[in-house]
């Protein structure tokens, strides 16, 4: 695989501006943001037209993995075998599999009530009976024993937002069955949730950092801030809690999607006069990617550890994207999108392009879990209205269920188990 060619950085077209907002403008912006959040993440994508998709960047994952292999001259940490280098496991199709799901919702006490769809009355079960089948090869079977044995005396850490939390919980559900009741526990304190397998001296952890960098949305419970601000160069604020992990799985995406330019704080959150610069979403996101790579380079030993980055989890907020009616969304969807070229209408492409650009110019070994396309078919797999609500529903909402359907998060068991099967594959058979 040839390395992708370089091209100009996303910053070239950026419009910088110091913002000291008047209270009126501030209120207006806050209102626009509030509406943006209400009506989905994808009202607009700043500069998206300038980030047209670059086909030459296909198969970045293979590029990263094989260059890593070459550099180390031998096998990666945790590897037990090799995969077919020519097979891109993220290209494939969903096939019906009655032996799924891999576990039952009721068997896994760790699933948060925002994801337990059966408990909250979801009537259909079909969404749980699909397996991901790559075109060129087959995925290895998820082996809980192998995974847990490999984590003996080690720390596995998921860092990111609520979608990464979902993948984290899926991983715990996939593993916990083979651990006796009195030899496991899960505890949350602030931003950190730790699942411990006592006999293995192993932990699987989740750290809440929706932007990876320090932000005004970092409170693990109260983080619904409409006017989001991220502090430049601040990755160590959270990163100091990730040190010593043997496997790290990062994600970040949804929180950047405000539909407006993004506010980057130059100084500190304590400064009285905040020095804020507004940049495009793509530039802000690229900055976070670069910070993440720098953190990995400085803190992770490529001979002993593995680092993953999970790509954007797609939402299904607008039925018109897949040929449905206006004003509808994933609510009442029980089948998947069968157009293999379906991608959706939001900023995924331009963000994917930023990721390609930043990663391809770096030698830091990160394995990219490219779950965006395979998940974008699955409009049937969201929690929709079958979840614990944050606040009681109003009569208007009850009359119009689509108005409060969650088309961002995913039911468990479900599609995020597949993300972990892909992670399993890349970890043990890179």
User: Among all residues, which ones are annotated catalytic?
Assistant: 162, 406, 409
> Smallest gap, in angstroms, from Cβ of residue 83 to ligand NAG?
16
Binding part of the chain for ligand NAG, among 25-33, 55-63, 382-390, 413-421 by CB under 6 A, reads: 55-63
Smallest separation, CB 141 to ligand NAG (Å): 6
Residue from 355, 381, 407, 427 in contact with ligand NAG (CB under 6 A): 355
Which of 204/264 has CB closer to ligand NAG?
204
> Are the beta carbons of 29 and 21 closer than 8 angstroms?
yes
Q: Does 51 bind ligand NAG (CB under 6 A)?
A: no
**Which residues, including other chains, have CB under 8 Å from residue 205's CB and lie 6 or more apart?**
155, 156, 157, 158, 168, 192, 193, 194, 195, 245
Contacting residue, 45, 46, 47, 61, with ligand NAG by CB under 6 A: 61
The residue (of 26 and 135) whose beta carbon lies closer to ligand NAG is: 135
Distances (CA, A) of 131 to 60, 142, 387, 414: 24, 12, 24, 10
For the chain, the first-to-last Cα distance in angstroms comes to: 15
Q: Which residues on neighbouring strands pair with residue 160, listed in sequence order?
A: 208
Q: Which of residues 227-286 bind ligand NAG (CB under 6 A)?
A: none
- Residues 416 and 169: their CA atoms lie apart, in Å, by 9
Is residue 329 involved in binding ligand NAG (CB under 6 A)? no
* Binding to ligand NAG in span 368-387, by CB under 6 A: 368, 370, 373
Binders of ligand NAG in range 114-153 (CB under 6 A): 143, 145-146, 149, 153
276 forms beta bridges with: 265
- For the bound state, the minimum distance from the C-beta of residue 11 to ligand NAG, rounded and expressed in Å, comes to 19
Q: Does 391 bind ligand NAG (CB under 6 A)?
A: no
Tokens of 223: 């983080």
DSSP line for 2-70: PPPPP---GGGG----B----HHHHHHHHHHHHHHHHT-S-S--TTGGGG---GGGTTHHHHHHHHHHH
Query: Closest separation between CB of residue 4 and ligand NAG, Å?
Result: 9
> At 7, phi and psi to the nearest 5?
-145, 180
**Nearest-approach distance from CB 70 to ligand NAG, in angstroms:** 19
Rounded-to-integer distance, Cα 196 and Cα 339, Å: 42
Tokens of 1: 């695989």
CA distance 251 to 272: 31
* Member of 112, 133, 332, 397 binding ligand NAG (CB under 6 A): 332
Q: How far is CA 32 from CA 89, 205, 281, in A?
A: 40, 35, 16
Instruction: Give the containing element (helix H, strand E) for 174.
Output: helix 162-176
**Shortest CB 406 distance to ligand NAG, Å:** 16
| # of chain residues touching ligand NAG (CB under 6 A) | 22
Residue 5 or residue 153: which is nearer to ligand NAG going by CB?
Answer: 153
CB of 73 to ligand NAG, least distance (A): 25
Binder among 58, 137, 194, 225 for ligand NAG (CB under 6 A): 58
Q: Which is nearer to ligand NAG, 118 or 143 (CB)?
A: 143
- Which CB, 149 or 219, lies closer to ligand NAG? 149
Closest CA to 367 of 429, 282, 428, 308: 308
Binder of ligand NAG out of 10, 36, 46, 57 (CB under 6 A): 57
Query: Angle, to 10 degrees, between the axis of helix 348-360 and the axis of helix 60-72?
Result: 20
Among positions 36, 45, 48, 60, the unique one binding ligand NAG when judged by CB under 6 A = 60
Q: Which residue is associated with the tokens 């990263």?
A: 64
* CB of 305 or CB of 356, closer to ligand NAG: 356
The only residue of 126, 201, 268, 327 in contact with ligand NAG, by rule CB under 6 A: 201
Interacting residues toward ligand NAG by CB under 6 A: 57-61, 90-91, 143, 145-146, 149, 153-155, 201, 332, 352, 355-356, 368, 370, 373
């Amino acid at each position: 695989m040839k390395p992708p060619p370089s091209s100009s950085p996303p910053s070239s077209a950026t419009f910088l501006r110091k913002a000291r907002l008047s209270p009126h403008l501030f209120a207006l912006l806050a209102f626009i943001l509030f509406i943006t959040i209400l009506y989905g993440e994808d009202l607009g994508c700043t500069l998206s037209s300038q980030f047209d998709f670059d086909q030459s960047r296909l198969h970045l994952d293979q590029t990263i993995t094989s260059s890593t292999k070459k550099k180390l001259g031998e096998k990666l940490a945790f590897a037990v075998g090799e995969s077919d280098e020519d097979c891109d496991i993220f290209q494939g199709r969903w096939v019906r599999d009655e032996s799924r799901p891999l576990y039952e919702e009721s068997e896994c006490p760790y699933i948060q009530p925002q994801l337990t769809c059966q408990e909250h009355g979801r009537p259909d079960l079909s969404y749980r009976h699909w397996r991901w089948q790559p075109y060129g090869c087959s995925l290895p079977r998820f082996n809980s024993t192998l995974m847990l044995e490999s984590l003996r005396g080690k720390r596995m850490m998921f860092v990111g937002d609520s979608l990464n939390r979902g993948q984290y919980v899926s991983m715990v559900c996939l593993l916990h069955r083979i651990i006796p009741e009195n030899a496991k526990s899960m505890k949350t304190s602030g931003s950190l949730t730790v699942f411990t397998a006592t006999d293995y001296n192993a932990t699987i952890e989740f750290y809440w950092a929706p932007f990876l960098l320090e932000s005004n949305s970092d409170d693990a419970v109260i983080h619904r801030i409409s006017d989001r601000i991220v502090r430049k160069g601040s990755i160590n604020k959270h990163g100091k809690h990730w040190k010593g992990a043997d496997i790290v799985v990062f994600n970040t995406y949804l929180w950047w999607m405000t539909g407006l330019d993004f506010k980057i704080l130059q100084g500190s959150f304590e400064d009285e006069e905040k020095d804020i610069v507004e940049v495009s979403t793509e530039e802000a996101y690229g900055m976070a990617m670069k910070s993440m790579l720098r953190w990995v380079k400085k803190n992770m030993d490529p001979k002993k550890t593995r680092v993953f980055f999970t790509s954007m989890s797609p939402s299904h907020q607008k039925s018109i994207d897949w040929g449905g009616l206006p004003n509808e969304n994933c609510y009442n969807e029980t089948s998947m999108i069968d157009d293999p070229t379906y991608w959706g209408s939001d900023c995924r492409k331009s963000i994917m392009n930023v990721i390609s650009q930043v990663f391809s110019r770096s030698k830091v070994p990160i394995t990219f879990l490219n779950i965006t396309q395979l998940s974008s078919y699955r409009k049937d797999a969201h929690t929709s209205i079958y979840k614990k609500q944050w606040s009681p529903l109003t009569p208007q909402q009850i009359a119009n269920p689509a108005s409060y359907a969650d088309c961002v998060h995913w039911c468990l068991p479900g599609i995020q188990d597949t993300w972990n099967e892909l992670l399993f594959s890349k970890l043990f058979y890179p």
